[in-house]
Structure 1
């Protein structure tokens, strides 16, 4: 099948291209339109995700699924832009595009519909995608379509640098990165979500005006060129092979998937909030700006080699990490290095401007496939977070995408200083892994001398050896992660593991141990781990729970709180994940062994508690975790005010905030004081037999007098200093609460 020749707009090559006057105004117009369009698109992502996150239990997967949705709609917008240039006339294109841009105005400002919460057995991810389609599908489609067309129009305009219009692409990404960083730091603290949505509608109206102006510039600039002039040169289009298209696809897929994997990991250990979401995303966008905005690419080869080395050592390093701060820095550095390597290779291989929209379609398809892999496929295929090490392994093949070196460089030679330095960089983390595995001193020496160093010297000079090594180390990690004697299940809300050890049945959620239970009678019904009677929760039930007819618990876990129930009591658990309910009922005995009437209500705790009558509960317990993080929307001042409305006089709200990565107790006490409430923090210690784990609980009541029973009967309850941060629905930063493991 032949390829039709394309006709380039006639440009007077001999004339200088002025950057001032009308042309300068036109260049500014196109760059500003691209910048504002990308800013609107990128700032919408954390805004809408924050709107929807509470409805879906504060799961980190809300962000990943939302990013995939944005990527998919952007792909459709780029595909339309590519198709319309070939199939529609100039006048028809302009009319259709203006109509597409204006139509979403009738759907703004966007709000979350009442039906958006998942119901019954409906897949949360699919229901979230449906909600996003109805809420923001139209404006995203318009932004992505017009954004791609603005770049295509500029490449055909004859304006300065129209022969290399990728600077417009970079300008748009600069706007997107600035918008991402501005959201948690400026926009989120300044206004509530409803006000943000109205501001966004105003800015979108400005974008429409600019886009129409760009279209009119193109229309008037080429009004007389409906047919090619006689002296116009017909240039055959650049040939693009399917292998090259596949390379574009892979280079777009890897950083997209890796960025989402890192975001999930950090969110699960810190908090699912915009500040955590946007930092990896902003770094990802920054790599696009650097790769497509800089003409000098001397940094390409060392960056690609650094990414390949990361593939061989980072998966195990992350698995054996010892500190949260180091883990975050390592993950963010990985996003930066991998993004620079992949996007740099993409930028170097970008086609001529005639193939711009095709290139954008393929790149956006790769990004969307990366999002689909992390948000839809991986949770169904893997019962642990396998997508991150898998995608990291793919980085090891990047050196193969570099241009082939001359044959003289491929001969066997002793490594120079640079080669030995790279080998030691590669060997260091591998030896750290060996030390952590506690193989013994002599085995460690044997590995270093006989295997590790020779392999590292060979790997840094032979990309295929590097790729094989990365594949083997990741395969070993997979083998290590799949024990035969445990039950694992992964859902939209978490990754659960149930296993037996030392007479206990233990539940973990990601990297967090959620609780355990005696495996045999008669001690099977005894509350242990964080929930023992000698600990803070025992104090709370002794002073508030025993005289409460109705108790609510947000977060199910093993269901240990049910063991405190007695005849005539009603205990309502609120849990968004049906899989968690099945685990509690089938693999732990607290729910079935309780003397109280136990009911489990599927849904987000804050949303469902809001439906309960005011004054219903004598005790409300917040025991919800996503891996190591408590969902942020359950901890804000507005949430506290809701819980207090549901309390009867003299009741208590109890938060389980056992320290892992965040020290939430000072924040909760400060937030309670800002709401006019009283609070105490209680700590429990681990016992020599490990029946009970060290735990921290925060008790909040309407008045200080309501806390008197805790002060009178226990020395463990205390008031913390007043210096903690205050969290609200519009501002909740975990940075000040970070702790070291």
Structure 2
């Protein structure tokens, strides 16, 4: 609410408690609606391997449920009596309360990893659909009721300011989840607290109903001359504009999340930050006097938007700078759209229809990014596409076009074509390209960005000419996407679980061509194509790394061993398989299994592994590893490698005390489990070591630093923790000075009921700051 509204409320708190009660109820409902989103998503994550796509798909569900709630609110307004509306809403709140406390419904069984989206949407609907939809209807309902209850008062003329209060509650609740709620409360505690908050909110609605009944506001409002006069219907063209203005920021919110987690850098809370900024733009846009006026927004959005487009295909530069650039661009472009949306809001009697259209736009944008784009695009192409398209929301000057603007536009177009021409020249003359890179010491990507800098300046200069600005933006996007990639991708494929690429690198010391499997910025295996080097595991799995050390040591104990590997990657662990060994991969993504078994890309499984002995073929069990491993018989494995903790996505449910206890259950008495804990952003070693201590399991730790003299793709620095049910299982490693006992990490072990990712991030950052 604005200062004027607050002063109005403060002047009569005892005489008229309605404004305060409405504000508190709206704030509470908004907080409940948004704190439940990360909570429920966290509950369902273990069923789908902790994939980041779970969040984007869940967001589509929440947006759709929000649309259903807004449609119900709009329909309820057809009843003339506020008292009747309150009674119906209270009854539905009571019915929805039957779904509490929150839990994930098991009616649909386990998800099919080949088609998880339908299962996820249906499971969320059964689990939380009813209470979320009814709660989400509260904000527009209360604003509509407020407009009627306060008809004739100054604050009643603009109930839309309560939407800012609603989004402020959402914003604070969302930020509080990873920083306060998750670190301090178990999941069961969170569920119970949310159910208590739901009950408290119901009491607030009861209080509002009592106020209406006591004061008989229906009769009073009907007699007031200022009571919501009917306004003209919203034209269909205007409805389409409202939907599109809402769709752009919604699509960008999910697009920037997917882009940052796939193409720029790994970060554990990517799903929180864009959503929080998205809500903050609503808070600003729906204020009576926004703290960032629209002209300022338009100027900043034009600058950061065009720069962001130029860097969408870039992998170079400081990742923190890229992180800040993309989030800044998203914030100001979303704010621009939402301020343009707020400026078009209709009269208060059309309030629920306005929110219904806005919610429809949110669903359209979210569904495009989370559901449609992964099907039609092999990479995260939807993000730069939407960055360009939201430029259409810019107002265009109606003043006569000046000559300098025409010259600037033509110059910008020619500048955008220059990198394409230069690349064509270099492709046709490799000697010239080599001389350029040697003498100028600038890559083609850097050259492109330097040239396009002048096009960006030109676009900013004519930003008030919307069509010209959008055309230049599109040209810059096309050029950077076609040239800016820093790898020679031989293959790009996309599934629900992410974008997988096979890069064809050259390393003369490994015989020339090397195929590298990448997911986002994380390497999942590399294999030289030269037969002389092809069957030696590389990167994290190289013989000199801790994973290689343990594998070879356990193999030396017996003629044939049983190996289990969680996380298939390129199948590099199959390079260790002897004819007498048995090897089973546990992998959630069918696409990864297919790529690793195709000799065109990787031949560790179908080529290097010895498969003619008793061990037979190498099996892959598809599905979440926790769900799959629990079905395995106890005492089965000599070696179990848990290798699913990439920096792009940390499936925390694989590092809980219960999970580690399950791994130990599967081992033979002297078996060994390897936890691969290499991570660029989180301290996941502390919680894993704390869980080992809680289980009283013998364990050892090693950090291996790659040999700087080795070929580029031969080794990778690796951190692991190994555990065994008995001291005998780790006997030879205890005598090896490369392995050590860690001091007590003084952290709480993760459990299926408690995970503190924010604490892991903080410990990692603190350790980096303390390094000399």
TM-score range relative to shorter protein: 0.7 to 0.9
The structure 2 residue matched to 1:566, chosen from 561, 564, 578, is 578
Inter-partner Cα distance in structure 2 for 1:280 and 1:675: 38
Q: How does 1:69-468 map to 2 (within 5 A)?
A: 69-86=61-78, 92-115=84-107, 118-120=110-112, 123-158=115-150, 160=153, 161-219=155-213, 221-222=215-216, 225=219, 229=223, 235-267=229-261, 275-296=269-290, 299-318=293-312, 319-400=314-395, 404=397, 407=399, 411=402, 438-439=443-444, 452=455, 455-456=458-459, 458-460=461-463, 462-468=465-471
| 1:12 match | none
Contact between 2:257 and 2:271, CA under 8 Å: does it hold in 1? Answer: yes
Which is further off, 40-49 or 495-504? Answer: 495-504
Inter-partner Cα distance in structure 2 for 1:118 and 1:363: 34
Contact between 1:378 and 1:387, CA under 8 Å: does it hold in 2? Answer: yes
The structural deviation recorded for 1:56 is 0.5
CA distance 1:414–1:561, change in 2 (3 Å): closer
The structure 1 residue matched to 2:602, chosen from 588, 592, 597, is 588
Q: Deviations over 1:607-655 (max 9, x none)?
A: 3223333333222112225673432332344433332333332322213
Q: How does 1:47-86 map to 2 (within 5 A)?
A: 47-86=39-78
Secondary structure of 1:86 counterpart: coil
Inter-partner Cα distance in structure 1 for 2:316 and 2:584: 37
Secondary structure of 2:345 counterpart: coil
The structural deviation recorded for 1:68 is 1.0
Q: Deviations over 1:1-30 (max 9, x none)?
A: xxxxxxxxxxxxxxx999425653111111
Secondary structure of 1:390 counterpart: helix
Q: Deviations over 1:507-542 (max 9, x none)?
A: 221232211223354654332333222332221112
Tell me how many residue pairs correspond in the alignment.
705
> TM-score, length-normalised on structure 2?
0.82
Inter-partner Cα distance in structure 1 for 2:450 and 2:584: 57
Q: Deviations over 1:92-131 (max 9, x none)?
A: 5444322211101212112123355644465211110000
Q: How does 1:591-740 map to 2 (within 5 A)?
A: 591-593=605-607, 594-595=609-610, 596-597=615-616, 598-625=618-645, 628-662=648-682, 664-665=684-685, 668-669=688-689, 672-673=692-693, 676-677=696-697, 678-686=699-707, 688-690=710-712, 692-702=714-724, 706-713=729-736, 716-718=738-740, 728=750, 729-733=754-758, 734-737=761-764
Contact between 2:149 and 2:221, CA under 8 Å: does it hold in 1? Answer: no
| 1:475 match | 478
The structural deviation recorded for 1:388 is 1.8
Inter-partner Cα distance in structure 2 for 1:627 and 1:352: 49
Secondary structure of 1:649 counterpart: strand
Secondary structure of 2:544 counterpart: coil
The structure 2 residue matched to 1:491, chosen from 492, 495, 498, is 495
Contact between 2:113 and 2:623, CA under 8 Å: does it hold in 1? Answer: no
Contact between 1:516 and 1:529, CA under 8 Å: does it hold in 2? Answer: yes
In structure 2, the gaps of 5 or more residues are: 1-7, 424-436, 506-511
The structural deviation recorded for 1:564 is 1.4
Q: Deviations over 1:475-518 (max 9, x none)?
A: 22343489997222111111112244443333221232211223
Inter-partner Cα distance in structure 2 for 1:350 and 1:65: 29
Secondary structure of 1:162 counterpart: helix
CA distance 1:248–1:533, change in 2 (3 Å): same
Secondary structure of 1:400 counterpart: coil
In structure 1, the gaps of 5 or more residues are: 1-15
Inter-partner Cα distance in structure 1 for 2:710 and 2:530: 20
Contact between 1:154 and 1:162, CA under 8 Å: does it hold in 2? Answer: yes
Inter-partner Cα distance in structure 2 for 1:530 and 1:692: 9
Inter-partner Cα distance in structure 2 for 1:88 and 1:25: 23
CA distance 1:635–1:411, change in 2 (3 Å): same
Inter-partner Cα distance in structure 2 for 1:118 and 1:395: 39
Inter-partner Cα distance in structure 1 for 2:209 and 2:677: 56
CA distance 1:233–1:108, change in 2 (3 Å): closer
Inter-partner Cα distance in structure 2 for 1:122 and 1:38: 35
Inter-partner Cα distance in structure 1 for 2:526 and 2:212: 68
Inter-partner Cα distance in structure 1 for 2:185 and 2:456: 56
The structure 2 residue matched to 1:36, chosen from 20, 23, 28, is 28
Q: Deviations over 1:682-707 (max 9, x none)?
A: 41525543451223031322466643
The structural deviation recorded for 1:69 is 0.5
Secondary structure of 2:286 counterpart: helix
